[in-house]
Amino acid sequence: MKNQIRLLSGLMVVVLAILACNSPTPTPGSNSDSSLYQTQTALALTLTALNNNPPAPTQQPPLVIPNPTETPQAHTFTIPTETQQPPILATATDSTLSSKQIQDKIASANILIYEDIAGDPYYITFVSKAAAKVGGNRVYVGDAMGTFMNKLNSSTKWDLIIVASEYRSAISGDYWTAIKQQIDNGVAVIAEVWYLDSINSGKITPLLDECGIEFQKNWYRGTGFNPIDYDMYWIYPNSPVFNTPNQVDNFTYTIPDPWMGDAGDFLQLAPGSNSLILASHSNGHKTDLGLLTSCLDGRVLFQTFSSHDYPSDPMIKLWENYITFTLTNHFQFVH
């Protein structure tokens, strides 16, 4: 701005000098004298005004400093509940095992498997096939209930106990007392029990209470049912249960010749429960209509539908994920 004023002043001085040099000597009282004088006076006044009163600088908008107690609206955000994922591991100490350490422990894990469908040649033994893919020291008792109880009460230090009970009257009563004792000692458990409607008030109750889960209602399949009504939805699709080591998509009911009657049971979370419904009969239901439920920091899984109601290959992959998931959490808990 100062440079502009100096330039303008210089131009006016030059103009005044030209006018003074080129004008004839005026005769006092003549019109030309008066005009020149007025012109020179006007230029001089203008120059003086510019020097003494430079134009005001362009004003900048005031800097507004927000109140430190207020959060600007543009920076406020909330993580949607739907994106929250369930906890993956349970740890008994501040440190966790590496993936390599977990793999080594799983390779030498002691796994007890009861699969009552083994006594029926019509069915594929999903659990034994999935367990063979995982490895470990597997004790497979098939449908031998007496042997299963003896193994539960043996001195063997189990890492995982699997109860794949697709026959409704198979495992009940004292079996659940023995299984709960194993869980309280840190052992992982996977239980396929789709007959909770008939045993939920029995000796399995203390385990359900400890998990913070409750029997909600029976799931029934009647004549002329709509297959769409028996699809299943993953509530936490990013959970390792559905992705490690296999990616398994939502289940669609496609059995060509299904049996009528009991299709399973729905579980709901008790008030204040830390358990997670991983798969539900209805999309988005996180606290009820549960068909696959995780509790005790992922060491225990309850599957309350029949494995053989869904396609074999995805089901075997899902069982392999179950085993990997519960053993991982078990070893993080007990290491």
Angle in degrees, CA 145, 149, 153, rounded to 5: 170
What is the pLDDT at residue 105? 97
Q: How far is it, in rounded angstroms, from Cα 309 to Cα 306? A: 6
CATH number of 87-334: 3.40.50.880
The widest CA-to-CA distance across the chain, in whole angstroms, is 142
pLDDT-based confidence at 106, cuts 50/70/90? very high
CB 262 within 8 A of CB 168: yes
Residue 113, SS3?
A: strand
Q: Where are the domains of the chain?
A: 87-334
Q: How far is it, in rounded angstroms, from Cα 298 to Cα 324? A: 11
- H/E stretch holding 261: strand 261-269
Q: Is the model's pTM score more than 0.75?
A: no
What is the pLDDT at residue 257? 75
- Residue labelled with tokens 């400890």: 210
Q: DSSP state, 237?
A: T
**What mean pLDDT do residues 210-224 have?**
95
pLDDT in tens, 41-52: 444 444 444 444
